[in-house]
Chain A
Amino acid sequence: MIRFILTRLSLLIPTFIGITLVAFFLIRLVPGDPIETMAGERGIDAARHEQLKKEFGLDQPLLVQYGIYIGRVLQGDLGKSIVTRESVLTEFQNLFPATVELGVCAILFALVLGIPAGILAAVRRNSIFDHGVMGLSLTGYSMPIFWWGLILILLFSVQLGWTPVSGRIDVLYYIEPVTGFLLIDSLMSEEEGAFLSALEHLILPTIVLGTVPLAVIARMTRSAMLEVLGEDYIRTAKAKGLSRFRVIALHALRNAMIPVVTVIGLQVGVLFTGAILTETIFSWPGIGKWLIEAIFRRDYPVLQGGLLLVGAIVMSVNLLVDLTYGLINPRIRHTR
């Protein structure tokens, strides 16, 4: 097992170095001048421009800049935002909980609806229910989620007035950020109604972000179940006279979950992509919106740091999934 972990880790290191390279050099290729952007509408005179360039080390050769950058990254210093002058890591830490909260809710939403739907569809293969679930999930999978968000806002927030339009919580509640997760902080704050308000604000973004994972999980669960249900040991179990429910719940489900776990892990990268759009639509103060803004503002340090952190997170989750997979299914370990 240790060897397995080590091989997986050794594969990650070059990828991570690659990501730092990509983040650093790709961003340098983007036309535009961060100093000019920082100066704002009023422009900046040439002398001050040079001075600032020096200040930010932008006058050095690219490779030197990269070297300095990597040196700092290894010390845990991701630099400061050019726009706000706040440390990139601090900004990330402040905004990340919002994205995690949304992402976790979206995945839970997808699991809670997707797994039962997938199982039922498999058990009642070719029934109307099966066709309905598969049709809906393919529709969900095909959904342009930026549009989906707008339509849901239009319907539920504007027409019906059931849900708030945007934001994380009613601004009248003053919640001291402790964990950064508003659901938890609002419960601890003892402000009456704050928790419900935070929940209310989560509903639509959760649905929007959870739609694609829901579709994928439902489909995956169904096909995994179908495969398992066809296996010999299930037939044996049935032949032994075990009840249908026990067969499904105890034997089939456990084995069918292996591919589903993998899919959930794979969804993390997809979730970041979805978060960019969802956060933009719902003014959700998270990482996706932060990165988009950084691109439009040519905020090099934020973009570099953000890409690096997001890459690192996706990689860790993938590693975790791999390891869990290795644990559940020992065959994998030995074939590598």
Chain B
Amino acid sequence: MKKSALFAAICVPAFLAAAPLAAKTLVYCSEGSPENFYPGVNTTGTSFDATEQIYDNLVDFERGGTTVVPGLAEKWDISADGTVYTFHLRKNAKWHSNKNFKPTRNLNADDVVFMFERQWKESNPYFKVTSPNHSYFDDMGMPKLLKSVEKVDDYTVKVTLNQPEAPFLANLAMQWAGVQSKEYADAMLKAGTPEKIDQEPIGTGPFYLVQYQKDAIIRYKAFPEYWGGKAKLDDLVFSITPDASVRWAKLQKGECHVMPYPNPADLAAMKKDPNVTILEQPGLNIGYLAYNTTKKPFDDVRVRKALNMAINKKALVEAIYLDTGIPATNPIPPTIWSFNKSIKDDAYNVEAAKKLLAEAGYPNGFETDLWAMPVQRPYNPNGKRMAELMQADLAKVGVKAEIKTYEWGEYRKRAQAGEHQMVQLGWTGDNGDPDNFLHTLLGCASAQTNGSNVAKFCYKPFDELVTKAKVTTNVAERTKLYEQAQVIFKEQAPWFTVAHAVQLKPVRKEVVDFKLSPFGRHTFYGVDIKGK
């Protein structure tokens, strides 16, 4: 029977098995499976994309922008000293339901308090459920910042901070602060299956989860009772497709409508396809090659400068990023305020590089290692190939670089420990502040062992500038300090700055009103699709 069916399938033309006429369905070819459905412990965009549709936050980023707008909190008051935030919750936010749980009430203050306490208080029974490592909560300095979170009445929550923090609201708009149902959590705790709330999620968001199959599919349906009004789409499907070329093939055939992270190699074809539009936005990121400034010969600034001149950046960016990268001069992307336009990049000049190397005492070059990123990231689409090109360029000035690589977790750990001589890395900003790049990646504080400053660059004049800028509130003043810091950065050359990747999103023509997020999010509430 199987045999004849198989033969039938081979003989029957593909179009006979046409898709059913579904209601408005949008298929998003996502790049991987989410780790789980609890944003508080996740760190990858892949996981956040999956939970973004389900949960709401107290406040949100405006779709396609960085402005903070009301979410589950209709409005909020901030005390004069900036330490007390009072959130007034909306009363009409309904919870989803599933086969294990039917909500008896709308969202209220208990749920919001639960969101904080689950990540904050080890005594909370949910603190350790799924994972006790609440990365973003810890990373945003919440444990030190929060003084108390109190329920004033059913729809009012008062958050008191230890000191004022300007980006606090923006931080709450990030995905880690998605609100889960306390009622559901209690019910599951009672049933002895607390981890269910992170696997079969209940949220107040515009879509509810219908089905999740690892490595295959995430299926959502629009939540008709969503407080913001039912989504324009009826069904939202994530078709999990790890291979970028395959995602493109599916988009082309109309098997999906939106895809992230296109393969640079396929862009030319995408631009030619009349059914596809490519949305474009400069990304908040930088890809770089860091020299280990504590190791010979890279402790000599002349060597670093010479290598900066020896690599043909233009050719490199063209070959690796194709049309998706802007050659980088500064350590921050041009879209961030305080970007210093007046800085000139080190020009590609093999002769000058050789001369400088000779001055530094290496007329015949030297041997070194070059670490190639083992994974693909927007800021570095192909670490190995980039390493090969750099290796070839460096060979021209006599520098013999051996390409090395490790498993990604291992790679970062070893680079942070400073085991390398030259290492490729990159960074994507979280909140659009220059501090997030200049201090985090190049300050003395993070140059210690296991810090994120993998150049181990600790240069007093630079560090003074960025540390001062951190505690200054006046933006004009900060701008000056950061501009000055970028000048020093270029003189000292701890990095070979490679490129800023452009965020590209191929979208089919029938998709209406999909907006790119500067943070690289994928939000499908508000998106529509034209009938076939």
Q: Which residues of A contact B (CB under 8 A)?
A: 31-33, 36-46, 48, 51-52, 55, 83-86, 91, 94-95, 98, 105, 108-109, 112, 157-158, 161-168, 170-174, 176-177, 191-193, 196-197, 199-200, 202-203, 206, 283, 285, 289-290, 296, 298
Interface centre among B5, B195, B214 (most CB of A within 10 A): B214
Contact with A along B1-32 (1 / 0, CB 8 A): 01101101110111011111010010100000
Which among B25, B214, B255, B413 is the interface contact of A94 at CB below 8 angstroms? B214
Nearest CB in chain A to that of B139: its residue: A42
- Which chain B residue lies CB-closest to A207? B10
Q: Which residue of chain B has the shortest Cβ distance to A157 in the bound complex?
A: B249
Decide: B199 and A199 in contact? CB cutoff 8 A: no
Task: Tell me whether B27 and A42 are in contact (CB under 8 A).
Answer: no
Q: Chain A nearest CB: distance from B211 CB in Å?
A: 7
Q: Which residues of B contact A85 (CB under 8 A)?
A: 36, 130-131, 195, 198
Contact flags (1/0) for B407-437 with A, using CB distance below 8 Å? 1111011001000000000000000000000
A268–B253 Cα gap in the complex (Å)?
35
Residue of A with least CB distance to B374: A296
Asked if B246 and A40 make an inter-chain contact with CB atoms under 8 angstroms apart, the answer reads no
State the Cβ distance, B256 to closest chain A Cβ, in Å. 8
Residues of A within 8 A of B10 (CB): 203
Q: Is the CB of A40 within 8 A of B135?
A: yes
CB within 8 Å for A164 and B452 given contacts A173-B20, A283-B215, A285-B215: no
**Separation in Å of the B145 CB from the closest CB of chain A?**
16
Are B3 and A52 in touch, CB under 8 angstroms? no
Check A95/B214 contact, CB under 8 A, given A43-B412, A162-B14: yes
Inter-chain pairs besides A43-B452, A162-B14, A196-B9, 15 sampled, C-beta below 8 Å: A33-B413, A37-B408, A39-B43, A55-B128, A84-B36, A108-B3, A109-B6, A112-B3, A165-B249, A166-B241, A197-B19, A203-B9, A283-B241, A283-B242, A285-B215
Interchain CA distance A33-B417 in the complex, whole Å: 14
A38, B131: Cβ atoms under 8 Å?
A: yes
- B228 interfacial contact with A, CB 8 Å: no
Verify B133–A52 contact, CB threshold 8 A.
yes
Shortest beta-carbon distance from B69 to chain A in Å:
26
**Distance A86 CA – B253 CA, assembled complex (angstroms):** 34
Whether the pair A171, B20 counts as a contact (CB closer than 8 A) is: no
Q: Is the CB of B20 within 8 A of A193?
A: yes
How close is A232's CB to chain B, nearest CB, in angstroms? 35
Q: Which residue in B8, B27, B44, B408 is a CB contact (below 8 Å) of A171?
A: B27
Return A291 CB to nearest CB of chain B, in Å.
12
Nearest 9 Cβ contacts at the A-B interface: A40-B43, A285-B215, A196-B17, A199-B9, A37-B409, A285-B216, A171-B239, A172-B19, A165-B249
A290: chain B residues at CB < 8 Å are 214-215
Q: Is there an interface contact between B217 and A171, defined as CB atoms closer than 8 Å?
A: yes
Asked whether A52 lies within 8 Å of B19 as measured between CB atoms, the reply is no
Complex Cα distance A170/B13, Å? 15
Which residues of B, 206-248, contact A by the 8 Å Cβ criterion?
210-211, 213-217, 219, 237, 239-243, 246
Do residues B19 and A193 form an inter-chain contact, with CB atoms below 8 A? Answer: yes
CA–CA, A37 and B411, complex, Å: 11
Residues of A within 8 A of B12 (CB): 196
Which of A98, A165, A170 contacts B246 (CB under 8 A)? Answer: A165
| B246, A283: Cβ atoms closer than 8 Å | yes
- In the complex, the chain B residue whose C-beta lies closest to that of A31 is B410
A167 touches B239 (CB 8 A): yes
Inter-subunit contact A48/B17 (CB<8 Å): no
Q: What would be 22 A-B contacts, judged by CB atoms less than 8 Å apart?
A: A40-B44, A40-B135, A51-B132, A52-B133, A55-B132, A84-B214, A94-B213, A94-B214, A98-B216, A105-B2, A108-B2, A109-B6, A161-B253, A165-B246, A165-B249, A166-B243, A171-B239, A172-B20, A174-B219, A199-B9, A200-B9, A285-B214
Partner of B215, one of A95, A191, A200: A95
Q: Kindly identify, within residues 235 to 279 of chain B, every residue whose CB is under 8 Å from any CB belonging to chain A.
A: 237, 239-243, 246, 249-250, 253, 255-256
Q: Which of B20, B136, B199, B450 contacts A86 (CB 8 A)?
A: B199
A280 to nearest B CB, angstroms?
Answer: 9
Q: In the complex, which of the residues B139, B211, B249 contacts A174, with contact meaning CB atoms closer than 8 Å?
A: B211
At the interface, yes or no: B477 with Cβ under 8 Å from chain A? no
Assembly CA distance A39 to B41 (angstroms)? 9
B402 contacts partner chain A, Cβ-Cβ < 8 Å: no
**Would you call A38 and B133 a contact (CB within 8 A)?**
yes
Q: CB-CB < 8 A to B239: which residues of A? A: 167, 171
Closest chain A residue, CB of each to CB of B199 = A86
Query: CA separation between A203 and B10, bound complex, in Å?
Result: 7
B513 lies within 8 A of chain A by Cβ: no
B35 CB–A CB distance under 8 Å: yes
What's the minimum C-beta distance from A289 to chain B, rounded to whole angstroms?
A: 6
Among the interface residues B36, B237, B407, B450, which one has the most CB atoms of the partner chain A within 10 A?
B407
In contact, A298 and B2 (Cβ under 8 angstroms): no
Given the complex of chains A and B, what is the CA–CA distance between A165 and B25 in angstroms?
20
Docked Cα-Cα span, A43 to B454, in Å, equals 13
From A108, A163, A165, A296, give the contact of B250 (CB < 8 A). Answer: A165
Instruction: Name the B residues within 8 Å of A199 (CB-CB).
Output: 5-6, 8-9, 17
Look across to chain B and name the residue whose beta carbon is closest to the beta carbon of A197: B17
Selected from B42, B128, B214, the residue in CB contact (under 8 A) with A91 is B214
Do residues B133 and A105 form an inter-chain contact, with CB atoms below 8 A?
Answer: no
Q: Given contacts A43-B412, A172-B27, are A283 and B133 in contact (CB under 8 A)?
A: no
Question: For B27, what are the chain A residues with a Cβ–Cβ distance below 8 Å?
Answer: 171-172
Mark out the residues of chain B between 53 and 73 whose CB falls within 8 Å of any chain A CB in the assembled complex: none
B138 within 8 A of A: yes
Q: Are B128 and A39 in contact (CB under 8 A)?
A: no
The smallest beta-carbon distance between B217 and chain A, in angstroms, is 6
- Please report the C-alpha to C-alpha distance between residue A203 and residue B450 in the assembled complex, in whole angstroms: 49
CA distance A109 to B7 in the complex (A): 10
Complex CA distance for A160 and B132, rounded to whole angstroms: 50
| CA of A162 to CA of B13, assembled, Å | 7
Chain B residue, CB-CB nearest to A166: B246
Of all chain B residues, which has the CB nearest A91? B214
Minimum C-beta distance from B302 to chain A (A): 33
Which of chain A's residues have a CB closer than 8 A to the CB of B237? 171-172
Assuming the contacts A166-B243, A173-B20, A174-B211, asked whether A36 and B413 have C-beta atoms less than 8 A apart, the reply is yes
A32–B407 touching, CB < 8 Å: yes
Q: Return the chain A residue nearest B13 by Cβ.
A: A162
Distance between B395 CB and nearest chain A CB, rounded to angstroms:
30
A173 CB to nearest B CB, Å: 7
The answer on a CB contact under 8 Å between B133 and A48 is yes
CB-CB under 8 A from B17, the residues of chain A are: 170, 193, 196-197, 199-200
Q: How far is the CA of A39 from the CA of B211 in the complex (A)?
A: 26
Distance A55 CA – B211 CA, assembled complex (angstroms) = 30
Contacts of B36 in A (CB 8 A): 84-86
Complex Cα–Cα for A109 and B195 (A): 42
How distant is the Cα of A108 from the Cα of B198 in the complex, in angstroms? 40
If A94-B214, A105-B2, A283-B215 touch, whether A44 touches B135 (CB-CB below 8 Å) is yes
Give the distance to chain B from A218, nearest Cβ to Cβ, in Å: 16
Q: Which residues of B contact A168 (CB under 8 A)?
A: 216
B19 — which chain A residues lie within 8 A by C-beta? 170, 172-173, 193, 197
Tell me if B138 and A48 are in contact (CB < 8 A).
yes
A177 to B211 alpha-carbon distance, docked (Å): 10
